[in-house]
């Protein structure tokens, strides 16, 4: 019998905790503020930015939105980041990815001050994560850890297999799982015997970006399945990387899409924003 891990429910608990902290901070004259930069009009990015804005409203965090045209220059974007870096009323800066092709993502991410880097993508913050001594954690992997904690799932000694090695999901996920004493394997597009490796996992994290990539024959009985993917199926409906209907029967826990990892990513962003405000106010 499987249990669905509800990101909706857990993210609400996280946001309520953040909202309570924000109201205490406001009594001390601190109003956390998140600035979000969106370049161009990619519809999926627009949805993410709107969801972040709604979460800020829920938590009592001031949110600023900067919309730049799709043909904005690198100089325009960089100078906006520098302006927000210098603005003491702004605690967190997030540049919505992906950027249009002519812009250099790395240059922008490296420009955001590490103490305002609520996505934890700056090399300095990435380094802190490597050595397990950090202020911010990347939102998606940290949201997943929060889900596991909420369900009282210990990773100690577990065999965790992550599919995907991106800088924003797969790699930091591996670091966080290692810190919790898991044995971690990271698979990617060059991995041989993927099915064999995944079928030995106690915990599977799928972050590939392909619908129905994880099939039931890859899942060990009783495995915990975390689905990070966001895809559209043939009917245009939102779905993850896991063949949910077939895999759930073999799982002990499974996250749905939508309503799983996605809301946790946003809740962690809220948490990171108030952490940034606290750090900046000393
Ligand atoms: P990415 O494109 O940067 O990385 C995909 C990874 O999948 C790569 O490391 C690649 O090696 C691996 N891969 C591709 N084909 C493979 C194969 N045949 N076998 C094994 N591995 C293979 O993607 P990303 O940014 O990590 O995102 C992954 C998915 O997660 C996407 O669907 C994205 O939309 C979603 N996502 C969701 C959230 C959320 O909050 N729910 C956050 C970030 C990303």
* pLDDT average, residue stretch 39-66: 96
Kindly give the distance from the C-alpha atom of residue 279 to the centroid of ligand 1, in angstroms, as a whole number.
31
**The predicted structure's pLDDT at residue 28:** 94
Task: Quickly list DSSP for 145-203.
Answer: HHHHHHTT---TT-EEEEE---TTTHHHHHHHHHHTT-EEEEE-TT-SSHHHHHTT-SE
Closest CA to 269 of 37, 39, 61: 61
pTM: 0.97
- Using the predicted structure, report yes or no on whether residue 282 has a pLDDT greater than 90: no
pLDDT per residue over 143-187, tens digit each?
999 999 999 999 999 999 999 999 999 999 999 999 999 999 999
Q: What is the mean predicted confidence (pLDDT) over 124-151?
A: 96
Residue 248: what pLDDT? 98
Q: Is 113 a catalytic residue?
A: no
pLDDT for 154 equals 98
| Contact yes or no for 23/60 (Cβ under 8 A) | yes
Would you say residue 212 has pLDDT above 90? yes
How far apart CA 208 and CA 189 sit, in angstroms, is: 9
> Which of helix, strand or coil describes residue 221?
coil
Q: Would you say the CB of residue 39 lies under 6 angstroms from ligand 1?
A: no
Please tell me the distance from the alpha carbon of residue 130 to that of residue 280, in angstroms, as a whole number. 23
CA torsion, points 180, 138, 125, 93, in degrees to nearest 10? Answer: -160
Ligand 1 close to Cβ of residue 137 (< 6 A):
no
pLDDT, tens digit, for every residue of 60-95?
A: 999 999 999 999 999 999 999 999 999 999 999 999
Q: What is the DSSP string of 237-252?
A: -EE-SB-HHHHTTTEE
């Amino acid at each position: 019998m499987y249990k669905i891990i509800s990101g909706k429910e857990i993210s609400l608990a996280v946001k309520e905790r953040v909202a309570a902290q924000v109201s205490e901070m406001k009594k001390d004259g601190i109003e956390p503020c998140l600035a979000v930069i969106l370049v161009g009009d990619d519809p999926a990015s627009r949805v993410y930015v709107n969801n972040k804005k709604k979460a800020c409203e829920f938590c009592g965090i001031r949110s600023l939105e900067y919309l730049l045209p799709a043909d904005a220059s690198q100089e325009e974007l960089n100078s906006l980041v520098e302006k927000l870096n210098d603005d003491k009323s702004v605690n967190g800066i997030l540049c919505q990815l992906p950027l249009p092709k002519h812009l250099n993502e790395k240059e922008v991410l490296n420009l955001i001050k590490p103490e305002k880097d609520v996505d934890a993508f700056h090399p300095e913050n990435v380094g802190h994560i490597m050595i397990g001594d950090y202020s911010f954690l990347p939102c998606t992997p940290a949201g997943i850890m929060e889900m596991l904690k909420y369900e009282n799932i210990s990773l100690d000694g577990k065999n965790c297999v992550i599919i995907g090695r991106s800088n924003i999901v797969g790699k930091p996920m591996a670091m966080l799982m290692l810190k919790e004493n898991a044995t971690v394997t990271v698979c990617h597009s060059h991995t041989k015997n993927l099915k064999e490796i995944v079928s030995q996992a106690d915990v599977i994290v799928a972050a590939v970006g392909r619908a129905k990539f994880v099939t039931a024959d890859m899942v060990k009985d009783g495995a915990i399945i975390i689905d990070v993917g966001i895809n559209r199926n043939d009917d245009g409906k939102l779905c993850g990387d896991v063949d949910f209907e077939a895999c759930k029967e073999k799982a002990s826990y499974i996250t749905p899409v939508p309503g799983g990892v996605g809301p946790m990513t946003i809740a962690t962003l809220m948490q990171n924003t108030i952490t940034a405000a606290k750090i900046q106010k000393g």
